[in-house]
Amino acid sequence: MVTMKVGTDKDNPDVEVTISAAKFNRHTFWCGQSGSGKTYALGVILEQLILHTELPLLILDPNADFTRLRDIRDGSDPELARKIADSDIRVLHSINPDGEQLRTRFLELSLSAKAAVLQIDPIAHADEYNVLLHASANAAGGFDEQTFLSLLRDSDDPGKRRLATRIENLEVLDWDLWSRGALPVTEIVASRPRATVLDLGGFPHSAEPKVAALSVLEQLWARREERRPVLIVIDEAHNICPPVATSAVEKALIDQIVQIAAEGRKFGLWLLLSTQRPTKIHPNVLSQCDNLCLMRMNAPRDLAELADVFGFVPEHMLAESPEFRQGQALFAGGFIDAPTFTQIGARITEEGGADVQVPMPAAVG
């Protein structure tokens, strides 16, 4: 069995703590409040997965915390650093003009996703939905988004013209997200790089990161019968699958993640969800998780939620969480023999994000 070193025993630095790489074929929940070291620790796990498995990683990254997953820290073990540097790690950016761009195709979204983007209800806006339905059926025709809009606008069909007006009024086709001939993220993910980081945070429209995530997850689900494993890492998961949707796009995204959580394991679609609080995650997703990493957590309500969902973890161990120092964690579940308090080890690669420092007066003299 392949094991991965994640750190040392919290109270005995001479004892290594390892977890089973094979047990990431179950959904994993990773949580800790701000300042607990959650993002740094998650980076340690992702590095270990790259080093010790062939499991492709898809990382949904709203805060650019993993955009430097290819950049090696000074002083890292040369052999481990070389293995990571030689790995096929793709970082797709929302706004960085010097990097590979995160783009997708509107016409390749599912019918329900396109309707959500355009705020179309199949009953209230029946004519426009019907036009979208037939456009979806003919989406393989190869025309781009602007051609699609022109065909609608120039038609004698009132429903098509109304749909064109809706698209123009919402300015959806002005989004930076659309590929406009560039390689779409769905094709990149389908080629299964060793790791694909989707830098979601820079899009100007609030719906764009959710549509980007939705487009990839829809394609993975549509091709699930291929049974090509991938670990879907969702950082700050409360932004992607909250308990209650606030828009049609968010509802479509939540529904897709709930479906993957419930049925994806047998197809090799495995989730790793990272967030600050369990109560911020949709309960139908959280309840499907078998592995737990808990870092510092002060809120009694959150600890009670974890005790309820992860009944195999002794409550007295969960109760230790408020006393954890930065970088300390409790691992429990299928990927470790017994619940274990751990001091997370050192990273090999650089963190992408960093805390903003308090401005200080310039030194005198």
Q: CA nearest 331: which of 301, 290, 276, 362?
A: 290
What is the pLDDT, as a whole number, of residue 355?
A: 56
Condensed to tens digits (0 to 9), the pLDDT of residues 43-85 reads: 999 999 999 999 999 999 999 999 999 999 999 999 999 999 9
Count CB-CB contacts under 10 A for residue 296. 22
pLDDT value, residue 141: 43
Task: Give residue 150's pLDDT band: very low, low, confident or very high (50, 70, 90).
Answer: confident
- Which DSSP category does 45 fall into? H
Closest listed residue to residue 269, CA positions, set 233, 321, 299, 314: 233
- Distance between CA atoms of residues 85 and 62, nearest Å: 23
State the pLDDT at residue 147. Answer: 77
Provide the residue ranges of all domains of the chain, joining segments of one domain with +: 11-104+184-252+267-279+326-344, 106-174
Structure tokens at 209: 């990161």
Q: How confident is the model at residue 361 (pLDDT cuts 50, 70, 90)?
A: confident
From the list 323, 248, 309, 247, the residue with the least C-alpha distance to 281 is 309
Gap between the Cα atoms of 140 and 185, Å rounded: 17
How far, in Å, CA of 127 to CA of 122, rounded?
A: 8
pLDDT digits (tens, 9 = 90+) for 165-216: 999 999 998 899 998 888 999 999 999 999 999 999 999 999 999 999 999 9
| Alpha carbon distance 274, 269 (integer Å) | 16
Could you read off the pLDDT of 325-336 as tens digits, one per residue? 999 999 999 999
Q: Could you tell me which residue, 187 or 97, shows the higher pLDDT?
A: 187
Task: Quickly state the pLDDT bin for 107 (edges 50, 70, 90).
Answer: confident
Residue 363: pLDDT over 80: no
Q: Do 30 and 330 form a contact (C-beta atoms < 8 A)? A: no
Over the stretch 240-288, which tens digit does the pLDDT of each residue have? Answer: 999 999 999 999 999 999 999 999 999 999 999 999 999 999 999 999 9
pLDDT score recorded for residue 140:
45
User: What string of DSSP letters covers 82-101?
Assistant: HHHHTS-EEEEESS-TTSEE
Q: Over the stretch 2-22, which tens digit does the pLDDT of each residue have?
A: 899 999 999 999 999 999 999
Q: Note every long-range contact of 240-245, with CB atoms under 8 Å and residues 24 or more positions apart, other chains counting.
A: 240/60, 240/62, 240/210, 240/213, 241/273, 241/281, 241/282, 241/285, 242/280, 242/281, 242/282, 243/279, 243/280, 243/281, 243/282, 243/283
Chain mean pLDDT for the chain: 92
Distances (CA, A) of 50 to 12, 344, 350, 353: 27, 17, 15, 20
The predicted structure's pLDDT at residue 289: 97
User: What predicted TM-score, i.e. pTM, was given to this entire model?
Assistant: 0.93
pLDDT score of 142: 45
**Token output for 132:** 């979208």
Query: pLDDT at residue 359 above 90?
Result: no
Q: Does domain 11-104+184-252+267-279+326-344 have CATH number 3.40.50.300?
A: yes
For residues 257 and 67, what is the distance between their CA atoms, to the nearest angstrom?
23
